[in-house]
Structures are given as structure tokens and as C-alpha cells.
Structure 1
Amino acid sequence: MREIGHQEWAGRAARLALPTRHHIGGAEESGGGASFAVVSPRDGRVLANVADAGPGEVDLAVAVARRAFDHGPWPRLAPAERGRALLRLAELMEEQRESLALTISLEMGKPIKDAYEIELRAAISTFRWYGELAGKLADESPHTAPGALALVTREPAGVVGAVVPWNFPLTIAAWKLAPALAAGCTVVLKPSEWSPLSALSLGHLATEAGLPAGVLNVVAGDGPAAGRALGLHPGVDVLAFTGSTAVGRHFMRYAADSNLKRVWLELGGKSPNIILPDAPDLDAAAATAAWGVFFNQGQMCTAPSRLLVHSAVAEQVTDAVVRHARELRVGDPLDPATQMGPLAREAHLARVLGHIADAASEGARLRTGGARTLTGTGGNYLEPTVFDRVEPGMRVAREEIFGPVLSVLAFDDLDQAVALANDSEYGLAAGLWTSDLSTAHRVSRALRAGTVWVNCYEEGDLTVPFGGMKQSGNGRDKSVHALEKYTELKTTWIRL
């Protein structure tokens, strides 16, 4: 990231041109005239009034995507040619990286440094990875009885509806779009109504990159109207969703009530982070625990929001986490020195503050934070918050808060730690800190989580799959395995 100061970012924000219309069939569509305000959590200012999609706009987008799939060139291109289009899109995103990062920072409050260096890096890398992969996949020809030839081919599944959240608006969109497009599907993307601007910008860049009209369509609207219409639409073959478990249940019902479309869900989490006395570096474990739960203002489905610490080192580790929390710089997301920006919406901040009040009333001890801050800005800022003396049955230890709130629970032995870790309806991710190789293997296998990080947290790359168990969802984003969600296996048996 080249050196751009706080004032220059603020000046660019004032001059930034933001998209306000749906992107359907390669062109802007204003829809029926209804609109909604996109409010910046930075200062409460209205950034733009964006066209609001209802069933009519969703019908149009799905019809356009269906024509592009049934009659257009995209599914019929050589996979390597589709890959080249995705690589062109990645290059355009790189050229527009600063403006895309600024858009994300404004619409959801992500610190500009994180938006540029983490969010955009991840999104661009995803399109590049699948662009390079597209032409390298092979079908199967199993060995069969003499006199027959069997072919197993992967074919694009059809029209994909992708509904993505506001906390990583381009990264998670890329995780859905890149494999779906590489497979030859067409897509209708519905971003969160809290963060539609970056997704609408992506739609324009896709058309500029040469994706045929109708291959990637973006409609802005809320869940009860646009999201529901997409979930119920009989013209959608696959629905991919990242968001809350409660909304994931709705999409399962929509599929049952319509055409039994396949539904892939990446949902909530209450991830445990286990620190044993033999951790290679207790200070590093504590620093990572603090970073993990406060990164992105705690608005992470994988956030290690349950810190499980052996009682022999619990006081030492908790004190270190509290120290790191107090050192975090909360401030304007357009300031490159800011480490924690505002929460995404005023209503969300109120919800998180409600959880903090509940934790205190249930007997958890507040070690630091717990209050709104920077109130004169008009933004939704909250202090990094740490509770210890948390009991497993407390709401703060069980419910996904989706904010910068850490619960510290002590344990006395490894079996108790694993039992505490697995005592959750969620199973998205987990962390473990130990120097013992046998312990690392045994505990990793015992943890019911889709990803287990050992002596680190939130690390990995596109070669490995990401997704959850239990009520954290199904299917996997990232890696070659993501293509399984957007393809159908066809068997052809030929008598020779």
C-alpha cells in the first residue's frame, strides 16, 4: 500500500463516485424507482441512495442470467478462455484497488489499511487463482468392464444466486463468484443492503473485463424482499449464502418451497481458541488471541470469541490479552493508523452493547472496554471488550455476538478443554496452542470444526477449503472443492 495519509483518504472519499443502480445484463438498471440509503458507520452520513430490488428486479436478473446460461457463450467457452476473463477482472480490480478499498471502508467501516492490504488482496487473489485453475481441470474415465467406456464429466450447474454479507463484501463475494464463473455458471449476486456499493462496482468491472452480458448480475436490496425472491425463484439452480444461521434456515425453507435448488451455507460461529501451558510462546498466543477477536471490529464468523485457557496460565494470558486490547487504536477507518474502526450499523452496535450488559448481569467480570467511544463523530465506535470468569452457560459464551467482545473461560485438563470447545451449536473454526505434536494431532481431530489452526489463527491460502460443521453450515468455499458446489456430475456409459 503506497503512502496515503488520513487527510488525502478523506479528500478522496468526498470526491468518490459511487454506483447506485443494479447491474443487470451488462448495463445499469434503476428498477421500479424505489431506493434505500447506504449510511456510513464512520460518521452516520448517507453515502448514496441505491436502487432497491424487489421481486420484479430479481425476476429480470434471473431471466437475463438464464438466457446467458441457456443460449449465451459463457458455459460453452473453453474453460481456459473463461479463466482468462477472470484474470482480466483481477487485473482491473488491481487497477481500481484504492477506490474499491475506499468504498469498503466507507460503507462498512473497515480500516482503510485492512481494506486495501487484506480484503482487496484476498478478493483479487481469489479471481486469479480460479482464473489460473479453470483450464487445468480434467474429467474422469473410470476403468470399467471390457466392451464399455465410462465418462464422468463435470458440467456447470446453471444459474447461481449468491447472497453475501457486509463484513467482507468483496472477499466473500469472490469466494462464491470465482468458482461459479470458472465452472461456466451465470450468477445473480445480492450483496448486503449495508454494503452494496463495492459489489455494484465489481459488476461494472466484470463487464469491462469482457464477461458476456448476463453472466454476472448484481442486484441491491434487503433480505426479506430481494433475498427471499432469489431464494424462492424457480429459475435459480444453486443458492450460495454466507450470513447468520437464522437467515440460512430461511434459504433452506425457500428451496423446499420452490424447486429444491441446492443450498450451500456458510453460517455463524462461536470459535474456541485453546491455550495450553506448553504453548510455544504464551505472549504470541495472547497477542494473536486479541488480534483475532478484535480484527474487523470482531465482525468475523471465525472470530476466536471463546478463549479457553488452562488455569495454570489463565491469569498471565488474560492480563496480556487485556493489555493488547487497551493498546488497540480505535478511530476513523480512513486513518491508516486506525486498527479498529466502527461497527457496521447503529442497530448492530446497540445489539452488541446489549450482549455486554447481559454478560455483566450474569456475573462475568469486565476486564476492559464495554462502552461506546468517539461519540462526537456520529459513528458506531466501541471499545475492545474482554470478560473473564465466564461460565459455559452464559449467553456471552454461547451466542454469536459478532463484535469486539472476548469471553475467557478457564479449564483444568485437556478433556475438559475439548468438551468446552465442542459444547456449541457452531463448528466453524478453532485454535489450539501447544508444543506437543501428539496433542496437536489428537485435539485437532477431536474438535468439531471445519478449520483448526495450531499455533496460529486465521492463516491459510486458497489451496485449502473453508466451511463449517453443525449449525455453521455445509459445503466449502476456496480450493478445488468449491467447484463441487457449482457443477453437476454426469455419467456417460458407452457400449463399445
Structure 2
Amino acid sequence: MSIATTISPFANEPFVDFKLEENRQAMEAAIAKAKASLNAEYPLRIGAEKIFTEDKIKSVNPGNLDEVVGYVSKANRELAEKAMNVALETFETWKKVPAAERAGYLFKAAKLMRDRKHEFSATMILESGKNYAEADADTAEAIDFLEFYGREMLRLSNINETMPLTKVAGEDNKLRYIPLGVGIVIPPWNFPLAICVGMTAAAIVSGNTVLLKPASTTPVIAHKFVELMEEVGLPPGVINYIPGSGAEVGDYLTGHPKTRFVSFTGSKEVGLHISRLAAETAPGQIWIKRLVAEMGGKDGIVVDETADLDAAAQAIVASAFGFQGQKCSAGSRAFIVESVYDAVVEKVATLTKQLEIGLPELNYAAGPVIDQSSYRKILDYIEIGKEEGRLIAGGSKADGNGYYIQPTVFADVDGKARIMQEEIFGPVLAIGKAKDWREAIALYNDTEFGLTGSFFSKEEARIEEALETMHCGNLYVNRKCTGALVGAHPFGGFNMSGTDSKAGGHDYLLLFTQAKAVSVKE
């Protein structure tokens, strides 16, 4: 059965319209199929070996704690070292594979993932707590990354024809982009397919081999991606799947003298820790390790008095509570000019209270947060918020056999308050008042982060100034601050939000290559 879709004008892969009965039924069937694999065991993949270990990661459905999505074998340092050696050996042959052939594996994987789109989405619904639309968008982005980075590798391999060097009489001069070596890929749990696929695909299509250490809360969906790459014929050892402890396996590999680069997406704290480890030179290391890091955000939306207030309120709620606010791009702050402040606050409160909470597999708008640690942390921040602002929606845990929290909104919050400054990574929104739009922008900029932002206004002069002065890597006007699309919105942020490595952009593959200029005298 073909998937009926609503085609986005920007996305390569269309989004599925779940208002159509046939699509809803197809997703329900995929979820039922995924549930048939509950409690399955998954091995490590090191080269051609599938290794089952006694020590395992237990992946639990955050929306139904009685369900175990899978038991995933867990690597230790000995196995991590084995994977490193396999990756080093494989690199010597993989780096010689023509770029077009490497890209071909990505294109084949994109086709198969497109054919089985609901199967991948269903696993994420059970393992990460995404509803249908959020999971579908995640899978669509994964497909887009495969297609985009495959095309980008073809472009780079043809760079001398498309962007020739300055001619010098008597010389043939060319620029070659060659791979770096073995990299450590550490993706996050909040986009457990899209970012995992994007980071890994970019590295391998550039000619590198990788050690993939998925997030411990979402290792099953990562394993399904690795299985897919094996199915399309990717040579063993190009991707080595080694889930494990960050303290044991992650730190060991980050500090390893043979690690050439680390590609990381996650929190500011972990990112800075990795940065420190990678900066140290281990005995036998002959290069400066490259770090590609996308870290946290404390993103916000600014609304002036000329804005479409209904559109602004809808964007604030969508940005704050999409996937329970568990996005680095989530709009967890909003600054409204005082003349329309009360009106916008009322609209936001009303929309938030309309969000229904429940099981992701039943496609509720609001689902669980990822795990017990996040659950406790977010509830602690809500208590802090009750001292720092005026509670206008939510404010407590929600019913259900999982990590459910009410979408929560605080108004009248000072710009220096903790819930305005610290990344909560959950369904908590803080709203502040500004005397005018310039003060609102200043309040928005008052953060150590700089990932995404939105500005709502109908005044062109104000929009132009906002585009210049709002300090973030991805700035949107009159739309929500989440939902970056591959190729349309290259994604990455400033300051403590990371290295501003623009995923889904035309310069991203350069981070996984090194440029070699060659000159031959004629």
C-alpha cells in the first residue's frame, strides 16, 4: 500500500499525513509488528562478528514501563579496543573505495528505509516515546541525510570541475578531499534515528570508518540502522556498533591515540567533557583530534506588538512542547512586548491546556519524557519555577505507567531566573515581559547558548534588525524555532551550543575530510 502524504515544499522526504485512515492503520500495524519483537536480544557488531555479551543494556518503553523494547549487548574496554583495531584495518581498504561507490550504499539504504518507513518509526515510538508525527519526521530526516550526504560526496569528488583552482602555466593543480581515519560517533537519544544516521553517514561516505556508540536509552533503533547498512552490502568493519558506558567505553575511545575525530550530539556538560579529553595528546598520537559537537540550547521566541498573535502563540506551544520539549532546538523561553503580553500569555495557556497526554502508540499529543533521571530533574525544575514565576498551565506529574509530566508554563519570569537560563530539556516553558521589541531581543540574547530562535513581527525594518542582532545559529522569522529540514536549514549553533557544525549543509562533509592540494608539473 502506498503512503498518502502531505508534501512539504522544503523536505526531500514527504511527511505522512496521519489524518488519513490508511496511514493511521499502517502505523498501527507497524507498531504491532514492533511489539512482536519486544524483549529481543541484540548483539554488538564488530567487523563481521556479532557478539552477545552477558552484560546488557535494558531498553525500556518510557510510556509503558512494563515493556522492554530489547536487551542490547554492552561493550567494555576490551571490546572497544577490538573494534578500534577492526576499524583501523578496514579503513585501509574503505578509504580507497571510489566516492560514487560509497555514496551508492547511502542511496540504497535511503530507498530501503523509505520502503520500511513505518517500521523504523514504530520502533522509535516504543523506545523513545515519540508520537506518530514526531517519529515519522525523525525517519524522514534520516532518509534526507542519506540522500543529501550521498549527493554531497559526489559533488566534492567532482570539485575540480565545478570549482577549478587558479590556473598556473605548466602545472596541473587539483584539490582532493581525503578521509581522516577512524572516528567515534556518539548520537543522542532524542533523535535516535535521524541524528544517528546523519552523523554516521557523513563520516563513512567521506571514506572514514566509525565506532558507533548509541545512547543507552535508545540502542535498539540504532541497531536497526546498522542492520540496514549490512543489508545494503556495506563492508564489515566500516560501521562497528558498540553500545556501552560513556565513562568506560566513551572516555576510553575519545582519549585513544588512534581516534582521528569525535562526532558528538548531546548535552553541554558531556560535550565539554569530550572536548577536554579530545584535546589531550595521548602517547603515540600524531594528529590533533577533530571534534564535531552539537550541544545544548536555551532557545526562545520573541513577539512584538505587530505580530500575528495567534500564529505566535501556536508557534510558542509547538516549539516548547513538541516531543515533550526534548529537543536542543525547543523553544523553552518566550519574550513578549508588554502591550500584547497578556493576550499572548492567555493564548499560550489555553493551547497548552488542550494538549492531551497519553501513550505515544495511541498518538497522543504529549507523551513521556525519556527516563527516570530526566523525569526527576524536570519535576525539580518545575518546583523551582513555582518560586520564580506564575504558574499558568501544568505544574506536576501526569497519570500513566511511564514518565509523564504535564506541559507546564510559567509567566512573569525574570530573564536571570534559573528556568530562563538553564537547559531543562523537558515540557517547561518560561515567559518574560519586555518593554519593547529591542529589549525582548536583548533578553533573548542573554544566555550562554545560541542554537535556535524565532522573531515574530510584521515590520520589515524590525525583522532586518532581528536577523542581524539575534545571536544564534538558526534564526526563523514568523514560524516556530524547531523543525530544521536537511538542505534547507543547515543546523548548528553558537557559544555553548556547540561547534556550529552545520548538519545538512554544504560544508558539513568537510569536517570529516582533509583537503590535500596536489600539483604536477607538466
TM-score (norm 1): 0.94
SS of residue matched to 2:431: strand
* Residue of structure 1 in register with 2:52 after alignment: 30
Is it true that 1:394 corresponds to 2:417 in the alignment?
A: yes
Name the structure 2 match of 1:264: 292
Matched, 1:490 2:496: no
Are the aligned partners of 1:26 and 1:204 in contact in 2 as well (CA < 8 Å)? Answer: no
Range 449-458 or range 88-97, more displaced: 88-97
- Give matches, 1:285-304, under 5 Å: 285-304=312-331
Distance, in Å, in 2 between the alignment partners of 1:105 and 1:253 is: 35
1:94 partnered with 2:94 = no
* From 114, 129, 152, the counterpart of 1:133: 152
Say whether 1:331 aligns with 2:358. Answer: yes
1:292-371 counterparts in 2 under 5 A? 292-336=319-363, 338-362=364-388, 364-371=389-396
Does residue 417 of structure 1 match 2:440? yes
- 1:394-473 to structure 2, matched below 5 A, reads 394-457=417-480, 458-463=482-487, 464-473=489-498
Residues 221-230 or 287-296, more deviating: 221-230
String of CA shifts for 1:305-352, please: whole Å, max 9, x gaps. Answer: 11011111111111111111111121101013x111100002211100
Return the offset for 1:460: 4.2
- Cα deviation, residue 491, structure 1: 1.8
1:206 and 2:229 equivalent?
yes
Deviating more after overlay: 399-408 vs 123-132: 123-132
Matches for 1:62-77 after TM superposition, within 5 Å: 62-70=84-92, 72=93, 74-77=94-97
Whole-angstrom CA distance in 1 between matches of 2:484 and 2:268 = 24
Query: Per-residue deviation at 1:19?
Result: 5.0
Is residue 150 of structure 2 the alignment partner of residue 124 of structure 1? no
Structure 2: gaps (5+ residues): 1-15, 17-22
SS of match in other structure, 2:498:
coil
- Equivalent residue, structure 1, for 2:75: 53
Q: What CA deviation, in whole Å up to 9, does each residue of 1:460-487 have, x standing for no partner? A: 4322421111111102211221101101
The Cα of 1:145 is off from its aligned counterpart by: 4.5
**2:60: which partner in 1?**
39
* Other-structure match for 1:476: 502
Shift of 1:217: 1.6
Distance 1:84 1:304 in 2: 37
Secondary structure in 1 matching 2:24 = coil
Contact 2:203 2:210 (C-alpha < 8 Å) held by counterparts: yes
Distance 1:57 1:112, change over 3 A: farther
Give 2:193's aligned residue: 170
C-alpha contact 2:180 2:513 (8 A) present in aligned 1: yes
Partners of 2:107 and 2:147 within 8 A in 1: yes
2:225 match: secondary structure: helix
The answer for the alignment partner of 2:36 in structure 1 is 15
Does residue 150 of the first structure (1) align with residue 173 of the second (2)? yes
Shift of 1:492: 1.9
Query: Does structure 1 conserve the Cα–Cα contact (< 8 Å) formed by 2:298 and 2:421?
Result: yes
- Amino acid corresponding to residue 368 of structure 1 in structure 2: A
Q: What SS is found at the alignment partner of 1:44?
A: coil
> For the residues of structure 2 that align with 1:313 and 1:470, how far apart are their CA atoms?
31
Q: Give the match for residue 246 of structure 2.
A: 223
Q: Conserved in 2, the CA contact under 8 Å of 1:123 and 1:170?
A: yes
Asked if 2 retains the 8 angstrom alpha-carbon contact of 1:163 and 1:191, the reply is yes
- TM-score, scaled to structure 2: 0.89
Provide the secondary structure at the position in 2 that maps to 1:461: coil
**What is the letter of the counterpart of residue 103 of structure 1?**
T
Amino acid across the alignment from 2:200 = L
CA distance in 2, matches of 1:460, 1:8: 29
Is 1:160–1:239's contact at 8 Å kept on the other side of the alignment? yes
- Per the alignment, residue 11 of structure 2 pairs with none
CA distance in 2, matches of 1:159, 1:60: 13
Tell me the alpha carbon deviations over residues 182-230 of structure 1, each in whole angstroms, 9 at most, x when there is no partner: 2111121111001100001111110111111111121111211222122
The code of the aligned residue for 1:344 comes to I
Q: CA deviation at 1:13?
A: 4.2
SS in 1 for 2:224: helix
State the distance in 1 between where 2:168 and 2:134 align. 56
How many angstroms apart in 2 are the aligned matches of 1:139 and 1:130?
15
- Partner of 1:382: helix, strand, or coil? coil
CA distance in 1 between counterparts of 2:503 and 2:253 reads 20
SS at match of 2:25: coil
Contact 1:453–1:459 (CA<8 Å) still a contact in 2?
no
Structure-2 separation of matches of 1:84 and 1:495: 34
Letter of the 2:360 counterpart:
P
Q: CA deviation at 1:133?
A: 3.3
Q: Is the 8 A contact 2:303 2:335 kept in 1?
A: yes
Q: Give, in whole Å, the separation in 1 of the partners of 2:263 and 2:41.
A: 24
- Mark the CA change 1:82 to 1:19 in structure 2 (over 3 Å): closer, same or farther: farther
Contact 2:31 2:122 (C-alpha < 8 Å) held by counterparts: no
Counterpart secondary structure, 2:218? coil
Measured in 1, the distance between the counterparts of 2:437 and 2:341 equals 14
Matched, 1:104 2:124: yes
Q: Which secondary structure does the structure 1 equivalent of 2:243 belong to?
A: coil
Secondary structure of 2:441's aligned partner: helix
Counterparts of 1:439 and 1:173, CA distance in 2 = 38
Q: Secondary structure at the match of 1:4?
A: helix
- In structure 1, the gaps of 5 or more residues are none
Note if contact 2:390-2:410 (Cα within 8 Å) is conserved in structure 1: yes
In the aligned structure 1, how far is the partner of 2:326 from the partner of 2:146?
A: 24
Cα 1:100–1:10 change in 2 (3 A) is closer
